[in-house]
Structure 1
Amino acid sequence: MDKETKQQSLSKQTASKSIFAAFEILKAAGGQMPGRDVINKVRNKINLTDWEKQIYEKTGYVRWESIFHFYTIDCIKAGYLRKNKGVWYLTDEGDKAISLGPIKLLDSATKVYRQWAAENKQNKTDSSKELTPPAIEIEQNPSQEQKANLDIVEEQAISGIKEFIKAKNPYEFQDLVAALLRAMKYHTPFISPKGKDGGLDIVAYSDPLGATAPRLKVQVKHKPESSVPVDDIRSLTGLLNKDGDIGLFVTSGYFTSESERSARESHRHLRLIDIDTFISLWQEFYPSLTDEDKNKLPLQSIYFLGSNE
């Protein structure tokens, strides 16, 4: 252990190596990855001490994970990292910060967080921490610790929903998509039965007869472990041959960057929905689902004390 590392508190040592590992993992993955996957890869990448593996009694979670989540808040405030619906994104600034090394990367993020906290007067203890940075422990910032714990809970919830969807067969996932469209006030007169479907899995109308636009032509792919290639997007585009047609491609996985670019540049109205967007929409329109459709992917709302940060 070098001199610089020895001067850090145990918590900062844990944070430095885990945050740095997470940034490297995100960079290697193209800049984004589900948060739960990042955590699992960090766990396998770094050497953890017995102290770091213990359950942190204040949170009930493994200590290193609690510390790791706590300091990701600093990285978000510094503009290095973004989180949205369980997916983590490495920004261009975060990519550049990797060159600082584990300790300086975290120090730079923490400095920005303290400046932000002091300016917003959210936590009076933050402004005094500048005097004694080596002594920082996560217990000293309840607001930031609370946010970190909520992030853990949210990521676990999203991960559980994804595993539930993953266990569905292709036709059950197709039914989920149709249920979501109905909650969004669309009519679904055609849902593909087993067998050849002519390239479309669902046709949805904004009125019972399909007389008014928009009319949705939907392709559904249940491939949670893979990304949809651009050829599939082009195939759907070719089926949008009437005025008022909108193409909707829904997957339980993700789309390649080429697929996303093809959809953006298409002369037809084409919308891509990956697993994260699907879950977000399911949560948003859940109250509008029928009881029967809710049972296809049931959710439970739990409210926690929030934060003004």
Structure 2
Amino acid sequence: MNQELENLAPSKRSAAITIFATFNILKEAGGQLPGKLVIERIRETVDFTEWEKQVYEKTGYVRWESLLHFYTIDCIKAGFLRKNKGVWYLTEEGEKAIKLGPVKLLETASQLYRHWLADNKDPRAKKGKEVEEATELEENKTQTQKANINLLEDQALSGIKDFIRSKNPYEFQDMVAALLRAMNYHTPFISPKGKDGGLDIVAYNDPLGATTPRLKVQVKHRPDASIPVDDIRSLTGLLNKDGDIGLFVTSGYFTSEANRSARESHRHIRLLDIDNFIALWQEFYNKLSDEDKNMLPLHPIFFLGSNE
């Protein structure tokens, strides 16, 4: 451990190490990764002390994970990091900040966060001398609250994704069809087991399919893989009528080339990865039939937010 890290208080030292590891992990992954995987990779690569591995009695959270979530707020306000639907994104500024090293990176993020607070006329920005994490967490209740909510959101999304992962391909296909019905589409064709000619679901705006758009849907249950561009091109080839729209749904993600192909296609192609699917399931959950809700049952919980 270098001297700069040794001179930090234990909480700041832990945060500096894990934030720096987070940025490098995201960079190696191409700039984005589900938060759960970031945490797992940090756990595999960082040698934590017993103090860092301690579990908070009140919350049940591991200390280093709570510290990481707390200080990612600084990184987000600094413009180094983004979080959306359980996925963490490293910005261009964040990638450049890696060159600062762990200590300077954390200091810069915290300084930029204080500037952000000052610009928003938050009295917390006037705080002078740095204090130990326990005191800081107590004083800065809003940031602590945000960090805890982020942690809970990540845990909730991880639970939903694990549930979807446990399904077989035909069960996931049925979930996609259920979502389309909740969005007021009719689903006269849902592929049975066996060859389907490339289409898994056909969905219409009306029972007869007389009005456009008509959705031709490809579903892939690949939670541990990214959909390649060739699969998108195959779906494009099936859109042979005016008013046909291609919809590709996966329980994983799409490669950057696949996303680009869909954007640039002469046909209307819409891609739904696991995060988009879950967001739509949440949005239209109340419109699902009771039977369809049971495919992926959710229970909403409301937390106190903030005015930021």
TM-score range, shorter chain: over 0.9
Quick check: 1:211 aligned with 2:232? Answer: no
1:135, CA displacement in angstroms?
4.4
In structure 1, the residue matched to 2:4 is 4
- Residues 71-110 of structure 1: pairs in structure 2 closer than 5 A: 71-110=71-110
- Alignment partner of 2:51: what SS? helix
Q: Provide Cα deviations, 1:37-81, integer angstroms capped at 9, x if missing partner.
A: 101111111121111111124533111111110000000001100
- Residues 195-234 of structure 1: pairs in structure 2 closer than 5 A: 195-234=194-233
Partners in 2 of 1:163 and 1:22 — Cα distance? 22
Partners in 2 of 1:6 and 1:255 — Cα distance? 42
Quick check: 1:132 aligned with 2:129? Answer: yes
Partners in 1 of 2:243 and 2:117 — Cα distance? 50
Contact kept, 8 Å, 2:199 with 2:217, in 1: the verdict is yes
Partners in 2 of 1:138 and 1:19 — Cα distance? 17
Quick check: 1:297 aligned with 2:291? Answer: no
In structure 1, the residue matched to 2:180 is 181
Partners in 2 of 1:79 and 1:112 — Cα distance? 9
Partners in 2 of 1:180 and 1:154 — Cα distance? 22
Q: TM-score scaled to structure 1, two decimals? A: 0.96
Quick check: 1:192 aligned with 2:227? Answer: no
- Alignment partner of 1:15: what SS? helix
Partners in 1 of 2:289 and 2:24 — Cα distance? 44
Quick check: 1:283 aligned with 2:282? Answer: yes
In structure 1, the residue matched to 2:19 is 19
| Runs of 4+, deviation exceeding 6 Å | none
Partners in 1 of 2:26 and 2:270 — Cα distance? 26
Contact kept, 8 Å, 1:56 with 1:66, in 2: the verdict is no
1:230, CA displacement in angstroms?
1.0
- Alignment partner of 1:111: what SS? helix
- Residues 90-169 of structure 1: pairs in structure 2 closer than 5 A: 90-122=90-122, 124-128=123-127, 131-133=128-130, 135=132, 137-169=136-168
Partners in 2 of 1:20 and 1:139 — Cα distance? 25
Partners in 2 of 1:281 and 1:243 — Cα distance? 26
Stretches of structure 2 that go unaligned for 5 or more consecutive residues are none
Contact kept, 8 Å, 2:55 with 2:61, in 1: the verdict is yes
| 1:152–1:34 Cα change, 3 Å | same
Partners in 1 of 2:256 and 2:2 — Cα distance? 41
- Alignment partner of 2:52: what SS? helix
Stretches of structure 1 that go unaligned for 5 or more consecutive residues are none
1:127, CA displacement in angstroms?
1.5
- Alignment partner of 1:88: what SS? strand
Contact kept, 8 Å, 2:11 with 2:132, in 1: the verdict is no
Partners in 1 of 2:213 and 2:139 — Cα distance? 54
In structure 1, the residue matched to 2:31 is 31
Partners in 1 of 2:131 and 2:293 — Cα distance? 50
Contact kept, 8 Å, 2:18 with 2:42, in 1: the verdict is yes
Partners in 2 of 1:91 and 1:112 — Cα distance? 15
- Alignment partner of 2:188: what SS? strand
Partners in 2 of 1:49 and 1:139 — Cα distance? 23
- Alignment partner of 2:284: what SS? helix
Q: Provide Cα deviations, 1:232-285, integer angstroms capped at 9, x if missing partner.
A: 111100000100000000001111111111111100000011111101110111
Q: Give RMSD over aligned pairs.
A: 1.2
Contact kept, 8 Å, 2:222 with 2:252, in 1: the verdict is yes
Q: Provide Cα deviations, 1:58-116, integer angstroms capped at 9, x if missing partner.
A: 53311111111000000000110000000000010000000000000011110111111
How many residues end up aligned between the 2 structures? Answer: 306
In structure 1, the residue matched to 2:258 is 259
Identity %: 70
